[in-house]
Structures are given as C-alpha cells and as structure tokens.
Structure 1
Amino acid sequence: MIDLHLHSNCSDGSDSPSELVDKAEALNLKAIALTDHDTVDGLDEFLSAGESKQIIAIPGIELSIKHEPYREINDVHIVGLNIDHRCNPLVNTLKLQMEGRLHQKEAICNRLRNEFDYNITYEEVKAIAKSNSVGRPHIVEVMIKNNSEKVKNKTKDQLFKMISLGGIAYVDREFEVTLEQAIEVIKKAKGIPILAHPGVYEVSDREQFVKMCTDAGIEGIEIEYPYDMNRPYYETVKEEWARTHLPDFYRKLAEKYRLIKSGGSDYHGGKKNIKLGQANVPDEYLLDIISF
C-alpha cells in the first residue's frame, strides 16, 4: 500500500517528517508523500530520511485555493505530487501564500478575542504550532484550552466552522492562489496537480466540478480517502455512504476524464483518530505518478 497525502509538524501535523518515514516503513508502506499546507519546509528532512529506508519518499505540497463562490470553489485544496520543491516560481509563490495564511490566522485570533471574548492570542497559537505554518487546528486547540466555559456545549467541528469560510469569526486571506495559478505553479515545479479529497466539497454537481477542474488543467484526483472520518460526514448518517460510495464515484470519473489516480489518509499524526496508511491506496497508482 501507499499513502500520498500526509502532514508533518512543519504545517499542522504532529510528527516530524523523518518520523513519518519511520512509521511508514514500520507499516511496510511502499511509498508516501509529504503534502504540508502551503509549505515545503519539511521536504529536505523527509527526502533525506527516505534515502536510508526501503520506501519511496515523494515530495509534495497542498495548496489552499482562493474562494470563488460563483464557480463553487470554496475551501478547495490542490495537492502537487513529485514536485521540485526548490523551483523558484514555487518558492516565490509559497512565500506570498504563507504570508497570506499567517496574516489571516492572526486576524481570526483578533476577531475571536475582540468580538467574541475568547481568551486567545496569536502568539499562543504560534507557540502551539511550533512551526512556520499556523492552521485552524492550532486555533481550535487554544480555543478549547483557554475557554472551557465558552466551548463546553460546542463540538470541535462547530469551533472549526466558526473560523472557516462562512463562519462568524472567519477572515479572508489577503493573498491566495487561484485554481489556475495553483495548477500552473505545480506544473512549473514539474509536479502533478491533483484535486484533493473531492468528496468533501459542497457543490451542486460533483461531476461538473471535476470537469471544470480538469478543464483548468488538473491532471489527477484523489480516489481513496477516509471520508467517514472527516467533515462533513463524520458522526452523521452519511458516514457509511461516504466511505463506500465516494471512492467508487471518483474512480469512475478518473477513468472517464483520464486522470491520474491518487489517494491518501490526510494523516496529521493521530488527529481525528486517522492512522497513517488507513486509506488503503493501492500500489498500482505509483507507476503513473513517478513516471509522469
């Protein structure tokens, strides 16, 4: 098996890049990809660790995409696989992307404190993150840690929604790549642009959304993914439906539109009780990805 969607503590995961390699080897995975959010900071350590192991380490990235409601692009992510992470256009874009990410998270913390009376500071969130990348999980962690009375009747999912697109404390980013820009910069880095976890997006027509992304230049799509363990299906009546139906649905679309198949656990180090390798992505995908 392989797992082509993993996060380290260089973004919002809890394992170091080398720990991911060690754990994957212990599970006898054939290949893994590190796809941290808007950063390639962990890739040198990840690739170095992979060189000494019996495992293929694939450099990757997961880019957050600018919201375009009229195209139903809301909180969409694009994974880039097998990228040249030192490519100048990619490095320059990620610098702007990360600045937009950090300014947004600071503004969200300010709104939570000033408008909703949460005991939270951006400095504490950064300390929790322990990396150059701050994400929503870090904010939620501090919301829970410091505000027991305010959050006692709220689920973690409800807190995430507060600070996500459409939420009462949400703030948009000053800079974020568009769908087309993300695809272009991944291709400039000699990588494969992959539509990440397509089944989580709330769109009116799933196939038309995939076709739009394909027309924009997407070359691959994630098939296997633990939908039943993630929003918006976790702990709902659609858990089992999402687990069984969505991978088959997107596999058929991948074949129809001749897209490279990928997949992964979206492992963040045990968060959400998701395990590394849990998505059971078949080895057969690997040849198309490394020979692309």
Structure 2
Amino acid sequence: MNTNPYNTEDLEKIFLRIPEPTVPLVLQLILLASDYEKLSSVDRDNLINGIEAINNLDPNFTLQARNKIITALKVKMKKEKKSLARAVFQNRINELEQSKYPILDFERMISTKFSERFLEETIKFEWGKITSHHKYINQWKYIFSKISFYKGDLPDDSFYIYRAGTKNGLSWTMENSIAKWFYNKNLVTNKGKYNYFIKSYVNKSNIVFFLNHKNENEVVYVPDSEKIEYVSLDEIEEIPTINSPRNKRIAKGEL
C-alpha cells in the first residue's frame, strides 16, 4: 500500500495521461479526497468510482499483454538500425511502462493535501487551457465552491459583464467588444442556435475569479438567471468590432 502523497510534479504527470477536457474530474476528486474523513458514504463511493473511471481512461492500464508487448518492442528496438524508428519504439515502451501504474491511487489520493493557494493557481491555469468547459460544467461549479479565489484585480464598484453563447456558461468578459467578437465567431461557426448575447450587472462578490491570459478580460461567473439581460441587435451594432481580443490589446498599447 502506497500512502505517499502526490506532489506537484505527480499532478503534472497525471494531467498528461488524461484527455484535457477531463481535468476537472481529477480536480474534483482531489478536493473530495482532501476531506475524506468528513465525506458521507455516498461521497466516498463517488470518490472511489471517480478514481476508477479516471484510471479506465488509460487503455494500457488494463492491458494484460502489456509486458509481452514491451518485451517484443525491446527486441525490435535492438534489431532496428534507424535511430528514428528506435526512438518511436522507445516512446511506446515508455508509455506502456508508465501504464503499469494507475493514473490515480486511492491511498495516495486520501493522503494528499495540496495548499489552497496551489489549488487556486492550478485551477485557474487548467481552466485557461481548456477550450470548452460545458461538458463538465457541474464539476467546475463544485470546484469553484470549494476554493476562495483572489479578487483584488476586480473593481470595487458594480460593473457589467458580457457573454456570447449559451445562457448557462461560466466564461464571461468585462469588455463588450470581446463578447461581440465571440458572438460573430459563433455565427460563422454555425453556433447561432445557442448564441445569445447577454450581460449581467454584478459585483466582485458574484465573480469566481478574473483571468486575462488570453487577453479576453475573462471573468468566471456562475450566472444568476434573474440577473441576465439580453443585448439587443441595435446595441450589438453600436459595440466596436475588433479582429481579435489580442489585436485589441495591441491597439491599446498593452502588448
């Protein structure tokens, strides 16, 4: 039984072994495991089942013939004269060797206690990397409910935020021109069916966190349906059109 806690390097390796959109599933399990002693029997079962589901994402983990394949690849590699081919064989061997171990280990998970500061930065970083959050939106909401995020970079007074897309999405922006860029982009990519241009009047206490790594002045916000306002076509017309969020920053001398 291995009870060594996972460290930051281990977490990076875990994320490399799973499809990017499933990252929130792992983050949710980390948060669940950190409170294992306080979990209900239902949540403990959810943790165990979740770990099993993540491990099953690696098709090599349950491969009974793994060792035979590794042996065969090593034989081929010794006989192969081309360095590129040998490198391909070695990469595959490395993948299979790594898959001898589950992606997540239950005992290690419940022994792991990452700091809230580290989790905050990791969550923001992983959120920013993923292009679509909708499939696991409930997992993201759970994650956000468990961490207190820094909000010092948000205005103290109330302000409008904007979104183009589904009405229940969590990714918003503080700039209407950026929302318009996404609105127009969605029209081109045939997402008009769910392409609402909406806004909401909020204050910093309503926001999960602010993120600007893509120059989109993004705020993560769990929308309150009673606060959502629809932006009319006339209003949209009056909003400046930009080529891209990045170009807007360049024009303003911010990049």
The reply to whether TM is greater than 0.5 is: no
**Shorter-chain TM-score category?**
under 0.3
Larger-Rg structure: 2
